[in-house]
Structure 1
Amino acid sequence: MEKLQTMRLNDGTSLPSIGFGTVQVKGAQGVTSVLSAIEAGYRLIDTSTNYNNEGMVGEAVRRSSTPREELIISSKLPGHSHGYDRAILMIQESLYRLGLDYFDKYLIHWPLPKQGQYEEAWQALVDAQKFGLIKTIGVSNFLSEHLEKIIEKTGVTPATNQIERHPYFNNNELVEYNKSRGIVTEAWSPLGREINDVLTNETIVKIAEKYNKEPAQIIIRWNLQNDVLTVVKSSSYAHQKANLDVFDFELSEEDMKQIDALDKGEAGRVEGQHPNEYEEFD
């Protein structure tokens, strides 16, 4: 397996180009899964208060033989804590749950524009970074108009924006906007989750056969060649290893275009979660 490549952020830090996602990964089985991922070579572990598994991730960090300073632990602020004071307290509370002194990366999970507090929440992350609670700050599911507002309000540009991105919803316009602002895009649900057939799509399967790779590896490579950091989840050690084995080949421009052509626009979202409408605490 080729060495895991890194991506440089606008705050001067670097992140691995592939991270391990933990949505719906919980309990003792979750600890085993995260430890397996670390053993496979993952160093960026992505969790969230809303996943209700921060304690599990913290336990895996403590049990791992990999030193804490080599791991990059990322979590996300829930919508009910967008108010400035609540956000500061939630960041501290999440650290206590994990048993950590600091987050390597921390994001606002959703903008929730109907609530109108995401600018406050971003100011809280900016200050929490100054307090030493967070090393790198970013957002998740923010559209260009949300990003414009928080940058104008605080003068601080997020380092990353984690968004839905997979072949059926490539979100290319937002990816390009992020690039224009110097923001690294992170892809959540890059493999489409279980509710669609992206991994058995005929186009993806044919491209995979061409390169003697698995469909998941093709999708991860497609993201990487678009400079998109990819957060993937798998409980199988073999799949965890395979999802990192994507640096020994390169998709042709034609193959990239074929994957882009699978986009279904808004209809392609895995759960119809539009950032201007979705209320995560409903």
Structure 2
Amino acid sequence: MTNTEVPTLSLLDGNTIPQLGLGTFLMQGETCESIVAEALAVGYRHIDTAMVYQNEEEVGRAIAASGIARDDLFVTTKLANTEQTDPIGGFERSLDRLGLDGVDLYLLHWPLPKRDTALPAWEGIVKIAESGRARSIGVCNFEIEHLEQIIDATGVVPAVNQIELHPENQRKELVDYCTERGIIIESWGPLAQGKSDLLSREAVLAAAEAHGKTPGQIVLRWHVERGAVVIPKTQTPSRLTENAAIFDFALSPAEHQAIDELESATNYGPDPRSYDG
């Protein structure tokens, strides 16, 4: 795998984002540092972390040890829920842990509607973008009403909305809303977090057999062909290469339709409208 094999998508602010990255949720300590280092060694250039993951220091160490030029990397981190009242301070603390002068994408992690802190947090993130220390800014887990609140109040449209998305929960209304406004969808939990039988469903298995790919590769390919960024996580080095080998084939319209029909509006993560964690 080389970086040139991973397509990039254009963001509404004029920047670009690699369509495949490594997610680091639930990775900590030496395991996280080792996996990030291995990912960078095999060609990944997009790493996704967050303050709440408690692994920014490990991600930063792996980046520093890689010898890869900073301009060749795309680093994402996120503002923690506990820091929504101090977004600039939270951002600076993340930079300190990462050992970086700036990030490529800074995301507001949750809307937290019960707390009503998302708007002032977003206003702070806009200031961070204006400072140049975050090249692009966006949100995670924002439903339409949450997006409308911050866009109407600030006039600043997030470049990215990172949401739980997989064939069993395709979020069509939200995806259409974002697409109409130029907001790139980034799929977290793209393989349903291993909490379902998604990878053993007939539509997925049939496409895997037809293309000589694994079921996981089929689902990741389904995401990228729909125009999403995918950030699968793995703690298995061999899976890094497998997850990246999705750009040398294409699903047929019939295969897409069969996978689309797996929609069941099933969410395996928290509900953004009620989550207050």
TM-score by length of 1: 0.94
The code of the aligned residue for 1:43 comes to R
Equivalent-residue separation in structure 1 for 2:177 and 2:27 (angstroms)? 31
Alignment partner, residue 88 of structure 2: 88
Q: SS of 2:67's equivalent?
A: coil
**Structure 2 runs not aligned, ≥5 long:** none
AA in 1 matched with 2:173: E
Which residue matches 2:151?
151
> CA offset at residue 201 of structure 1?
2.3
* Cα distance in structure 2, aligned partners of 1:166 and 1:81: 29
Q: CA deviation at 1:279?
A: 1.4
1:221 is aligned to 221
- 1:269 matched residue in structure 2: 267
> CA separation in 2, counterparts of 1:116 and 1:161?
19
Structure 2 equivalent of residue 258 of structure 1: 258
CA deviations on 1:81-101 (whole Å, 9 max, x unpaired) are 222xx1111000111111111
Question: Following the alignment from structure 1 to structure 2, what is the Cα–Cα distance between the partners of residues 151 and 258?
Answer: 35
CA distance in 2, matches of 1:243, 1:231: 9
Structure 1 unaligned runs (5+)?
Answer: none
Q: CA shift at 1:79, angstroms? A: 1.2
Match of 2:212 in 1: 212
Compare 237-246 and 53-62 and name the one that shifted more: 237-246
In the other structure, the counterpart of 1:107 is: 107
Aligned to 1:14: 16
Asked if the contact 1:40–1:237 (Cα under 8 Å) also holds between the matched residues in 2, the reply is no
Q: TM-score, normalised by structure 2?
A: 0.96
Q: What count of residue pairs does the alignment treat as equivalent?
A: 275
Give CA deviations for 1:57-84 in whole Å, capped at 9, x if unaligned.
Answer: 111111112122211110111112222x
Aligned-residue RMSD, C-alpha: 1.2
Aligned partner of residue 232 in structure 1, secondary structure: coil
Residues in 1 aligned to 2:77 and 2:61: alpha-carbon distance in whole angstroms:
15
Q: CA deviation at 1:255?
A: 1.1
* 1:46, distance to aligned residue in structure 2 (A): 0.3
Tell me if the contact between 2:140 and 2:161 (Cα under 8 Å) persists in the aligned partners.
Answer: yes
Alignment of 1:187-198 (within 5 A): 187-198=187-198
Kept in 2: contact 1:143–1:275 (CA 8 A) = yes
Deviating beyond 4 angstroms after TM superposition, the runs of 4 or more aligned structure 1 residues are none
Equivalent-residue separation in structure 1 for 2:203 and 2:276 (angstroms): 34
